[in-house]
Every structure is written in C-alpha cells, then in structure tokens.
Amino acid sequence: MSSFKTQDQADVTGKRVLVRADLNVPVKNGRVTDATRIERLVPTISDLLKRGAKVVVLSHFDRPKGRRVPEMSLRPIVPALAKALGHPVAFADDCVGASALTVVNALQTGEVALLENLRYHDGEEANDPVFARALAALGDIYVNDAFSAAHRAHASIEGLARVLPSYAGRQMQAELAALTAALVQPKKPVMAIVGGSKISTKLDVLNNLVAKVDVLVIGGAMANTFLNAQGIAVGKSLCERDLADTARGILDSARRNNCEIFLPTDVVVADGLTEGAATAVCAVSAVPADKLILDVGPATVLALKSRLTACRTLLWNGPLGAFEVKPFDAATVAIALHAAAQTRAGALVSVAGGGDTVAALNAAGVVGGLTYVSTAGGAFLEWMEGKVLPGVAALGG
C-alpha cells in the first residue's frame, strides 16, 4: 500500500471536518446493543474536537435502497455516540440539503453533529458525483475512518474523497498498518488460518494466500472439501463435493508456491450440531459414515500450536470448527489462547478479522490479546483476496 495522508497532517482548526464512519451497528428496540464500532471511532473524533474542528459524522445504516425507512434512521445512534464521546451530539434529519446545512452551520468549534442515513439517497450507492458534491458542500476536509466500508465505491467513500482534501482517520490508519504488517510486509514465516463452511465463498482468498504465506491452515467445513478431494470419506459432514477439482487445484498451486497446506489429521464427530452432544475423536481416515465432523481434534490442535509457535505472523479469518455450539468451540478457543500468548510474548504479530472470527475471539476472551482485530467484514475479506479497495485507493493508499 502506498502512502496516504492521515488526519494528524491536516490543519483542522475552525474547519468543518466530514468524518465517514461506519455506524451500522446492532439496534434493538431503539437502543444500540453492541457499541464496538462506535467506541473505535472515539479516538478520531476526540482528536479532531481537541484540535478545534467542527466534526460532521456521516454513515450509512442498513439497506433502505434510496428511501426514507424510519426504522433505519441513525437517530437512535445519537445517545450511544454522545455517551462514547462524553460530548453532546447534534442530529440532522438529512445528510444533504437545507436541514443538514442548518445543523452544520450551527456548530461551534469543538462540537459534533451526526447526519441522517446516507443510503436514504440513491446517489450514495450509485457514487453519483452530484450527491458527492452536495455532501462536500457541508465540509472543508474529509476524513475516512470507515475501513469496513472501504470496499464500496460509494459517494461518501470514493466520490467525496476526490472532491475535498482527504485523510485517513485513526482507525483507518491503524487498520491499514495492521494489514500491511500481516501480508504486505510481514515478519516471516507467515501463517494464515482460513475457516468457514464453504470454499466457494473464499476461493479468491485461498488463491491469493497460497502465493503469499508460508503455511495456510484450512479449518471449518472447508477442510472437509479438501479431505474429500484427496479421497478421504467425511461421513455426513458438510462438504462441497462438486468442488473437488477446485480444491485439488488450490493444493497444486500451494505446492508450486512452496506454501504448506495444513489440514486436520484428527477430528471431533457427533450425530448432530447440538449443545452437549455425545462426541468422539477419530482420525480423518476413520470418520463413520453416519457422523458429522464438527471440530478438529486434539492431535491437530497440538500440531497447529507447534506450527504457530514457529511462525512470526498470523492472519486469521474463520473458525476451526462449529464454534457457536459447545463443545465444538474447543479447537478455536485453544488456538486463540495460544496466539494471544505468543503475541503477548512479542513472538507473533497477529491480525484477525471477519464477523465469525471476532465472535469466536470474543468467546475465547482474547480480542484484546491479539495485535489487531478488525471489525470489518467484506472489506477485510476483499483485502485478503488481494483486491484494490476503492475507499483506500481514493486516499492514495
């Protein structure tokens, strides 16, 4: 990633700073139920306020598809944002036009406002230059702190960055630094753990990583597809049998790139995915025809720990088993704890991302123990695929 300017390089005193955030957070009965994304935005806004800016926060929420959908309003976010900032937050019932301009013009130095859902307007997702200019009319400087939306070529992500002087916010800066450390300029050897249910959703990720990392660990039901492709019976387990040739192609590509593919040697099986189900451990070559593979086994965990200890960088996307249901979270938790211990010891740079991954790390209690945990979903995945993200490219990164 090439260089880009950060908000520290901007003279924001007395300026209207448009901050693109991702406030697409869970809301139930009008209340925010998970404020993680809001809390991660605080350093960016607090810094700008302390330096005398007038901060105008822009965000989307859900998918109203260009219509005003009351239950997709950002208004319920105001109390949570104000609480996180420890500062009052004004609200405008539109993100462009007279009502937005009235609220923005009323801001004094060191004050903040949140504007209504960007996606109430078709121009947002269409990356309409007219809509981008309407947004730009509300500010003097643009700061993008929404890496999780950086894979969208939308007006507030890509178009606006072309109109105003543009900078990366604190969170965007931290995310890009972490991703660069994990895959662009990593300490070697590099291990990537990729889990999930289907390789069909992560083909581009796998094909990109085999050319970039030293060890590629394949977990979750994805591993079943690779085992099946090698002639190993996987019982009643979830398996994309029609992708056997694709899996063999990835294995061949890994060999050509001197990338070790790490697959389980033993697994935990059960009759069904239910909490407290009776389980058994068996070699991958001895999976009963009537059983489901729902986690990797203890021998695989020990081997993976040993392999991880020898690595200096870890990139993680996806659990090793059906972690949502105990006891099939055991392997994921064990490796998460080991990765956190290696990170604390200064022996490992560990970067993880993706919704299921973050949930699994939260369950293991180690989110704070890794080098960086990304709350981005699609953007993190597209970055792992090696794609150029429009929101990053627009900043010059």
Active site residue ranges: 37, 198, 355, 378
Q: What letter would DSSP give residue 368?
A: G
| Inter-residue contact 131 to 121 (CB < 8 Å) | yes
The DSSP symbol for 371 reads S
Q: Which residues pair with 89 in a beta bridge?
A: 112
In which element (H, E) is residue 135 found?
helix 129-136
Separation of alpha carbons 258 and 214, rounded Å = 7
Strand partners for 6: 168
**Amino acid letter, 83:** K
User: What H or E segment, with its residue span, contains residue 58?
Assistant: strand 54-58
Single-letter residue type at 22:
D
Q: Centre a 10 Å sphere on the Cβ of residue 352 and count the other Cβ atoms it contains.
A: 26
CA 62 – CA 252 distance, rounded (Å) = 41
Which two structure tokens, joined as six digits, stand for 348? 């490992």
Q: CA angle, 302 as apex, 298 and 306 as ends, to 5°?
A: 165
Q: Which residues contact 346 (CB under 8 A, 6 or more apart)?
A: none
Three-state secondary structure string covering 198-267:
CHHHCHHHHHHHCCCCCEEEECCCHHHHHHHHCCCCCCCCCCCHHHHHHHHHHHHHHHHCCCEEECCCEE
| 362 Cβ contact partners less than 8 Å away, ≥ 6 residues apart | none
CA-to-CA distance for 142 and 271, rounded, in angstroms? 54
Ramachandran angles phi, psi of 21, nearest 5°: -110, 170
d(CA 98, CA 78): 20
Neighbours of 337 (CB within 10 A): 15
DSSP string computed for 108-167: PTT-EEEE--GGGSHHHHTT-HHHHHHHHTT-SEEEE--GGGTT---IIIIIGGGTS-EE
